[in-house]
Amino acid sequence: MSTKLFTNSSVMDLIDFDQKSLLVAAGSIAFNPIFWNVVARQEYHNKVLTKLFGGNSRYGCYFLAVVIFGIGIFRDFLYEQALRQQPSLDALQSDVVKLAAAALFFCGNVLVLTSMWALGFTGTYLGDYFGILMDHRVTSFPFNVTDAPMYYGSTLAFLGSALWFAKPAGLLLTVEVFVVYKIALMFEDPFTGAIYAKRERERAKKST
């Protein structure tokens, strides 16, 4: 795609909204957190996946993990394809920006990978909705840096990619990533908190 000078360009010049790949990538970014939240809540209330796997909640969790991982990879592929079909911005094509992009991508992936390590497999992939609860809340790195390292790390990785390819459209999609994750947290945090609060009440009843 052609490059653009910021001073001589409007928003419509910097982002090609006629490219279907942009809309597809935006749709995928919005779809993923909606999907796993809906499926996880259905599992919690109705045990849909647990029943599908003969009453084995761990198998249901493993299946959902594979699906979430798969659609995540596909979303990243759609994002990259969308960027390649978008105009580049001259102002972003510098060594300094490239260095910043690499640092953001690296830091983002550190947050994602270390949070997965700290939570474990089932902790990462919504095991608490399957009744697979952790013994205690994780407060070590990276959770001592942010309460949602996987989401914020993923956002940083998107931002790093947008800057690396010098694509204003990538910056717009990164804003979408940030917004949909913030909305997801508004639903997830209270619900997850309620799950663990219920467990503590049940433990308290047993101890009396």
188 is in an annotated binding site: yes
Rounded to 5 degrees, φ, ψ at 143 are: -75, -10
Distance CA 186, CA 134 (A): 21
106 is in an annotated binding site: yes
Rounded to 5 degrees, φ, ψ at 119 are: -85, -25
200 is in an annotated binding site: no
> Quick one: 139 exposed, middle or buried, by C-beta within 10 A (0-12, 13-18, 19+)?
exposed
CA of residue 39 relative to chain centroid, distance: 16
189 is in an annotated binding site: yes
Give the angle 202-188-160 at the CA atoms, nearest 5°: 140
Distance CA 177, CA 184 (A): 10
147 is in an annotated binding site: no
Could you tell me which residues are annotated as the binding site for S-adenosyl-L-methionine? 106-108, 188-189
List binding-site positions.
106-108, 188-189
